[in-house]
Structure formats: C-alpha cells, structure tokens
C-alpha cells in the first residue's frame, strides 16, 4: 500500500533489511572475532533496542563458513535445544539426549576439519533455566575451539548470572554488551537513511512531526520503525505525500501507544 502510493520499489523501514547502525556494527565486529576465537558471549538490551537486528546480521553474515543456528522455538528446555541443534547441523536426532549429544560432537569435529565456525544463538536466553544452559555449556566443552555460544537476552539475565551459584557460567563469559536506547540524533539518522534507501525525500516528515516522532520513540529502534510505518499509512489514508502532526497524532492516539494513565483519564 505504501509502496504503491509513493511509487517505491522497496519497503521503507523494512525489518528484514539488516544494514547496521554504527554502534551495532561495532558490536557485530567484536562478535565475529569471538566466533573465530571461541567463547561465551552475552548480548543484552531492553525490547526494541536492536538485538534482533544484530542476530539477523550474524545469521546472514557468512552462512557457508559461519553456522549460526538460532534456538528460539524450544521453550528453552535442554532436550528441545538439542533437537534444534541436530536439525541445524544435519545430525541424526535420536530419542535420547546422550545420543544427540554424541552426534552433535561428531558433527562439530567434522565441521572443524572443514574450516567452518559455529555460533549457536540462544534467543530470549533470560527465559532459559540456568540448569539447561549449564548442560549446554558442558556439551560445548567437548566441541573443538571453533565455536562461540551467543546468549541474546534482556538485562535481568545478568542478575541471574551474578548469583554465586551461577559463577561457573559467569566466569566463562568472554564478551558482554548491553544495547542501550538510542539518542534522538541516532534515531534521526536512521530515519533519514531509510528514506534515502527507498528514494523518499527528507521532507516526507515535517520538522514538527519528526520531532514528535523522536520523542515518542523513547530511544527504541523498533518503536521508531513501527511509528514511521504507521505514519506513512496514515499519510496514504489522507492522500498526502507528507507526514505532519495530524498523521502522527492519530497514530499516537491508538491504545497501544498510550500509557495506562492516559487510557483511564476522563
């Protein structure tokens, strides 16, 4: 709808486009180094700060050499994680965990001889029971040093790891980073870059609308992206090529953008 109205050949603010922002690129470069050196990495951030963008960039980076299975459909159980790893590595997934472990270790050594790197990614790792994570860590101890386990989680994950009983896991972390909310200038650069990418003018958003959009995004990349798309849809509805205050205010009146106090106020 937006593409047809504005005459675009690419989707604006497309989450599938994994061009990294400068601060994301810096983290990405470090993670790819750890993929070659081996280790346990921890990437944290509140929802919407850009963790998924980095995860997608790693998956798409070099699929022929860097194998990056993502564990996010397992309910974070150990057996479910083994099943997904077996599927990703093409290992025979037999019924018992010990058989799956043995098959994964064999495949890992074979991939090592082929010069390939492994970076299993556990998404929403803060939901995983630490005992299951501990079992995975012990399994990877038998892998050759061509792998790096990446935990993508929300900040409470670090609170769990700081407990004395989990010191065996925390002491093995080789790199950790917290993605923080972006500054308004960074979000503005992201918006203008996306407009350039699809061939829209920078004046698509008026200065007033852009300022309100940046304030309402609260530094969150996902929130900013969703606001921009919603505003463009409102512009299509109004048959205008410019997003101004009426369009963004109509979006911000939607219940999911408003606070509980706003909704209960009379």
Distance, in Å, from the CA atom of 151 to the CA atom of 163, rounded to the nearest integer, reads: 17
Spatial neighbors of 249 by CB under 8 A, at least 6 apart, are: 212
Distance, in Å, from the CA atom of 163 to the CA atom of 160, rounded to the nearest integer, reads: 6
Distance, in Å, from the CA atom of 149 to the CA atom of 247, rounded to the nearest integer, reads: 44
| pLDDT value of residue 247 | 95
- Is residue 173 within 8 Å of residue 40, measured between CB atoms? yes
Set out the domains of the chain in order of their start, with CATH numbers.
22-179 (3.40.50.300), 182-264 (1.10.8.60)
Spatial neighbors of 187 by CB under 8 A, at least 6 apart, are: 214, 217, 219, 221, 224
Q: Give me the numbers of helices (H) and strands (E) for the chain, helices first please.
A: 13, 7
| pLDDT value of residue 91 | 81
Long-range contacts of 235-241 (CB under 8 A, 24+ apart): 235/5, 236/1, 236/2, 236/5, 241/6, 241/204
Distance, in Å, from the CA atom of 227 to the CA atom of 61, rounded to the nearest integer, reads: 28
- Is residue 77 within 8 Å of residue 99, measured between CB atoms? no
| pLDDT value of residue 257 | 86
| pLDDT value of residue 261 | 52
Distance, in Å, from the CA atom of 214 to the CA atom of 168, rounded to the nearest integer, reads: 42
- Is residue 101 within 8 Å of residue 90, measured between CB atoms? no
| pLDDT value of residue 64 | 87
| pLDDT value of residue 235 | 95
Rg (CA), the chain: 22
| pLDDT value of residue 155 | 92
In degrees and rounded to multiples of 5, residue 173 shows phi and psi of -70, 125
- Is residue 6 within 8 Å of residue 200, measured between CB atoms? yes
Tell me whether residue 61 is exposed, middle or buried, using C-beta atoms within 10 angstroms of its C-beta: 0 to 12, 13 to 18, 19 or more: middle
Distance, in Å, from the CA atom of 169 to the CA atom of 158, rounded to the nearest integer, reads: 11
From the first residue on, what is the mean pLDDT of each consecutive set of 10 residues in the chain (266 residues)?
90 86 93 87 94 92 88 75 84 81 89 88 89 88 83 92 91 93 94 94 96 95 94 95 95 83 52
Please name which of 203, 210, 194, 239 lies closest in space to residue 4, comparing C-alpha atoms: 239
| pLDDT value of residue 205 | 96
* 182 three-class SS: coil
């Amino acid at each position: 709808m937006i593409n047809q109205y504005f005459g675009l050949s690419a989707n604006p603010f497309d989450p599938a486009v994994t061009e990294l922002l400068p601060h994301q690129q810096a983290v990405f470069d470090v993670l790819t180094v750890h993929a070659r050196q081996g280790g346990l990495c921890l990437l944290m951030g509140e929802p919407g700060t850009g963790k998924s963008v980095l995860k997608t960039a790693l998956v798409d980076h070099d699929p022929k050499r860097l194998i990056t299975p993502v564990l996010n459909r397992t309910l974070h159980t150990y057996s479910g994680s083994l099943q997904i790893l077996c599927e990703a590595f093409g290992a025979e997934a037999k019924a018992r965990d010990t058989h799956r472990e043995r098959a994964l270790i064999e495949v890992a050594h074979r991939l090592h001889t082929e010069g390939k790197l492994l970076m299993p990614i556990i998404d929403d790792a803060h939901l995983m029971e630490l005992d299951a994570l501990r079992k995975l860590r012990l399994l990877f101890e038998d892998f050759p040093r061509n792998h790096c386990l990446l935990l993508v989680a929300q900040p409470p994950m670090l609170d769990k790891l700081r407990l004395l009983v989990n010191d065996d896991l925390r002491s093995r972390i080789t790199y950790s980073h917290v993605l923080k909310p972006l500054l308004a200038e960074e979000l503005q650069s992201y918006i203008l870059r996306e407009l350039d990418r699809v061939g829209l003018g920078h004046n698509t958003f008026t200065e007033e609308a852009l300022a309100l959009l940046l304030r309402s995004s609260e530094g969150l990349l996902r929130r900013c992206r969703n606001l921009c798309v919603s505003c463009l849809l409102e512009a299509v509805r109004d048959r205008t090529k410019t997003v101004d205050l009426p369009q963004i205010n109509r979006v911000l009146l939607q219940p999911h953008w408003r606070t509980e106090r706003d909704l209960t106020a009379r």
